[in-house]
Structure formats: structure tokens, C-alpha cells
Structure 1
Amino acid sequence: MPGVVRPVSDPEVPAAPPHRWGFGAFLFVEAVLLASAALVGAVLTRDGTPDSLPVRDVLIGTMAPTVIAALTALAITKVRGNGPLTDLRLSWRWDDVKLGLKLGVLGLACTCVGVLVWTEIVGEQNATSAIGALVEDKPMSVSAAIAMFLYLWLLGPICEEIIYRGLLWGATERLEWGREKWGRVAAFVLSTAVFAVSHLEPLRTSLLLVIAVPIGLARLLTGRLLGSIVAHQMNNFLPALAILLTALGLAEA
């Protein structure tokens, strides 16, 4: 089909041996994510409550667990496989960037419609994300607001894609049903569902499914991780910008 980027192998690059990590690695990374979030949360709230945390601690509590989990995933591919570039299909290709941008724009449109419908269903008082609730009504310096913006827009998507469309995707592709491998479509379906549920925001799970589909399609169509990273970053741009403007007092929550 014209215009569709198909996953291809570079003929000049010899095929790497199969990696030795699977679902156990993904479950371990998820455990690291939850344990580090609990530990960081316990340390930061030892003298108060989440609502009373200063902005610096909100930033640490938001960023640290996901970054730690993503670094753990990268380490696993190095120790138990061929490294992240090979095992997670991380390579720079302009075609992947272009497709990621297109699907990111599509994701933004779907997200805007989804947010409107979802807000009508749950009510405006319940329509705030977990991160949005943490930074709401907190005075924030320009540097802290920019740090939060850059994390939500750029770094957070990279970390989440390494975990879900990287590690989980690769683990799913290794599974076999009878004599047949599950393949990329099964990896797309499972990673989309797990991504939505893993945010631990039950009320927003249906909305997160809508957000995750275009991102997963970028991984499915290219066969590599860069497209889904770009699509995720595009999809996160407007929400991150909204939080930045709200934190700086330039927009209402």
C-alpha cells in the first residue's frame, strides 16, 4: 500500500541472535516501577501528605519511578540480550519520525474528542489527571514548570515507550500459541491494554486506550520504537503545555 511504512530488515546488517528476556523481564520492570514509586512516595510524604508536598518533591515523585524503571529495562536488554538498539528496535529513521508525527497529530485529534466525551460522562470535577491534580493550585517557579513540561512532553514518553512498546512488545512477540508466534498484532493489542491499565487511574482507563491506539500503530507499522516515541511525544504536547501555562498562571486549571 503506497505511503505505508513497512517494517523491514537492513540486508547489510547480520541478524542478531534472539534475546533471552521475556515476560519475566517486563514484570520485573513493572515491579521496580511500583516499588520505586511507593518508596519515593513514602520518603517524600514522611512529614506530610501528598497534597502538602512542595513542587520540587512533586517533580521527583513524578519523574524518578518511570526513569528508574526505563533504565532497568535498558539494563535488562544489555545483560540478557543484544542491547536496547537491537532488542528494542531503536534506530533513527526519518520515515519513522514522519509517520510518528502523522499518527501523533491523529492521536491529538482523537484525544481531544475523547476528552470532551469522557468529561461529559465523568464530570469536570473528575476529569483531572493524577499529575494535573498534584500540580493544581501549587505555586511553581518558571524553572520547575519548564522541567515538568519537558518531562511530560519529551522524557516521560521515551521512558514509557521503552517499557511498553519496547520491553512488553518484545516479550509478547516471543510468545508462541501452538507452533505459531503471537506476532506484532498481539503485541499491539496487549501493549495498548497494559499501557492504559498500568497508569492506575481506573476512571481514565477508557480515555487512555483511545490515546494509546495511534501510538501503538506507529510501532506496528514501522516495526521500530522511534515512531511510537514521536507519536507519544506529539500526543503529550498539548496536555504538557496546558499544565505549563496553568502552573505559570497564564491559564485556568
Structure 2
Amino acid sequence: MPAEPTDHAEAPPPPGTHRWGIGAFLLVEAVLLLSAAFIGALVQPSSSDRPPTALTIVIGSILPVMIAAGAALLITRLRGNGPKIDLRWSYNRADFKVGLKFGLIGLVSTTLAAVVWTKIVGKDNATSAFSALVDSHSLPASAAIIMFVYAWLVGPVCEEIIFRGLLWGALERLQWGRWAVFGLSTAVFAVSHLEPLRTSLLIVIGIPIGLARLFTGRLGASVVAHQVNNFLPALTVLLISLGVMSA
């Protein structure tokens, strides 16, 4: 009789030999910071009295992360075996199911943690840098939708390539244990957002996303978990930008 179909993915192949490591991750982080500074200088209004335009907000928020993720993919091409092998890139039914599960767990844990965290730091300090940027400037519908799609779908892909892909692979190359890799990558993910007040909350956000990567050994599951976790915050920012909700 033919074998019954199964939702369990095959075990991932052993990591390919690549010539990149921690230096590659640090280079990508430098690319992210430098491109953000360069793009910010280019699109900054000539007068401090003029508010940034919607185009400025969109470009300044989205482009640096996409450039950094592109640099990470290029490194795997030039000094490795490509993202599919080196970063464990995949996207299949099993990845979606695991990512959805951990993403929903993340939504619950993040919501509870955000309530506690807001009570500790106060409502005025509880807004993320991304939300604060959008909240303080009205956006046309087209720009608000672009920011929503980025925060929900595109941004998580870029961040997972950098943190649970490039950094994770660099630590594995150093022969760290998988739980140590999970712990450090989660901490670096939180700190790299450069929002010191929100670091503890970002660690809570990063834990279920990292667990999806840990338990599957693949990047696709953590991408889905990240996207699920980002949906409600991204939707909230969209509704505020469109004036449907108050900030």
C-alpha cells in the first residue's frame, strides 16, 4: 500500500560548509546602521521646521533593513552554499503549521507581557520606535498600507534572515549548542532594535520565534511565527495611521 501522507517535514540536511561566520553578521549589522544613517541624511527635510513626508517615513523605515537582509543573502552566495543550505531557508506546510503555533503562543505571551510592561514603564514610554514614528505623523492610505505590509510580512522575513539565519548559522559554525545559539540570538535580536527601554519586552517577543527555529531547524517556521506575532501590532499601526483608531 502507498505510504500515508504526513505533515512532518524531513529532517534538514547537515549544515553545509561555508566560509562566513560572526564577522559576516557584524558586517550586515554595520550595513544596516550605515545605510539607515545615509538614507536618513538623504531624505531628511532641509529645514527642521518641515515635518518628514510620507515617502521619507516609508523609505527610512523599510529600506535599511531590506538592504541589510540583501547583504546577508549575498554573503551566503559569495562565501557559502546559498541561503537554502546555509540559512536553512524553507517554506512548506510543516513550517507553516509550526510557525503558526509558535506565533499564536507569541501573540498571547507578548500581549500579557506588554500589559505588565506598560504598567511598569507607563503608557507614554510604552510605544515602539516604529509606532511612535507613525503615530506622530499622519500618513496617506497608500503609505499606511505599505507600512502595514512591511511590518506584517516583509520586515519579519528580513529580520529572520539576519538573526535566525545569518547569526544562527555563524554561532553553529562555532559549534555552540543549539540552546546557547537560541539564547544568544534571541538576546541579540532584542538589543539590536536599539530601544533599551523595550529590550526585556523584545526578548519575550523573540523567544517563541526562536523556538520555532530551534524545534524545526529551519528558517521558514521562525518567519511564519514572526509574521503571526507582528500581525496585530501592524494592524493597530495601520488603523491609527488611517484615523480609524486613536493613538
After TM superposition, the structure 1 = structure 2 runs for residues 144-223 of structure 1, keeping only pairs within 5 Å, are 144-175=143-174, 181-223=175-217
Cα distance in 1 for residues equivalent to 2:208 and 2:202:
11
Question: Which residue is 1:8 aligned to?
Answer: 11
> How far apart are 1:167 and its partner, in Å?
0.1
Query: Does the CA contact (< 8 Å) of 2:12 and 2:218 recur in 1?
Result: no
Question: Structure 1 residue 230 and structure 2 residue 215: aligned?
Answer: no
After TM superposition, the structure 1 = structure 2 runs for residues 58-77 of structure 1, keeping only pairs within 5 Å, are 58-77=57-76
SS at match of 2:243: coil
> How far apart are 1:51 and its partner, in Å?
8.2
User: Aligned in 2, Cα 1:64/1:204: closer, same or farther, shift over 3 Å?
Assistant: same
**Quick check: 126-135 or 155-164, which moved more?**
126-135
Report sequence identity in percent: 59
Query: Does the CA contact (< 8 Å) of 1:5 and 1:221 recur in 2?
Result: no
> How far apart are 1:192 and its partner, in Å?
0.0
Post-superposition CA distance 1:200-236 (Å, at most 9, x none): 0000000000000000000000000000000000000
Question: Which residue is 1:134 aligned to?
Answer: 133
Query: Does the CA contact (< 8 Å) of 2:25 and 2:166 recur in 1?
Result: yes
In structure 1, stretches of 5+ residues that fail to align are 176-180
Cα distance in 1 for residues equivalent to 2:172 and 2:50:
41
Query: Does the CA contact (< 8 Å) of 1:6 and 1:221 recur in 2?
Result: no
Question: Which residue is 2:20 aligned to?
Answer: 21
**Quick check: 16-25 or 122-131, which moved more?**
16-25
Cα distance in 1 for residues equivalent to 2:126 and 2:210:
24
Cα distance in 1 for residues equivalent to 2:163 and 2:202:
14
| TM-score between both structures, scaled by the size of structure 2 | 0.93
Counterpart of 1:123, as a letter, is: G
Question: Which residue is 2:120 aligned to?
Answer: 121
Question: Which residue is 1:250 aligned to?
Answer: 244
Question: Which residue is 2:84 aligned to?
Answer: 85
> How far apart are 1:46 and its partner, in Å?
5.1
SS at match of 1:52: coil
| TM-score between both structures, scaled by the size of structure 1 | 0.91
Cα distance in 2 for residues equivalent to 1:217 and 1:190:
12
Query: Does the CA contact (< 8 Å) of 2:45 and 2:51 recur in 1?
Result: no
User: Aligned in 2, Cα 1:5/1:124: closer, same or farther, shift over 3 Å?
Assistant: farther
Question: Which residue is 1:178 aligned to?
Answer: none
Aligned residues: 241
Cα distance in 2 for residues equivalent to 1:157 and 1:128:
19
User: Aligned in 2, Cα 1:230/1:221: closer, same or farther, shift over 3 Å?
Assistant: same
> How far apart are 1:93 and its partner, in Å?
2.1
Cα distance in 1 for residues equivalent to 2:50 and 2:237:
17
> How far apart are 1:16 and its partner, in Å?
6.7
Counterpart of 2:43, as a letter, is: L
User: Aligned in 2, Cα 1:81/1:105: closer, same or farther, shift over 3 Å?
Assistant: same
User: Aligned in 2, Cα 1:239/1:50: closer, same or farther, shift over 3 Å?
Assistant: farther
Counterpart of 1:224, as a letter, is: R
Cα distance in 2 for residues equivalent to 1:94 and 1:111:
25
Query: Does the CA contact (< 8 Å) of 2:213 and 2:222 recur in 1?
Result: yes
Question: Structure 1 residue 30 and structure 2 residue 24: aligned?
Answer: no
> How far apart are 1:70 and its partner, in Å?
0.1
Q: CA RMSD in A?
A: 1.8
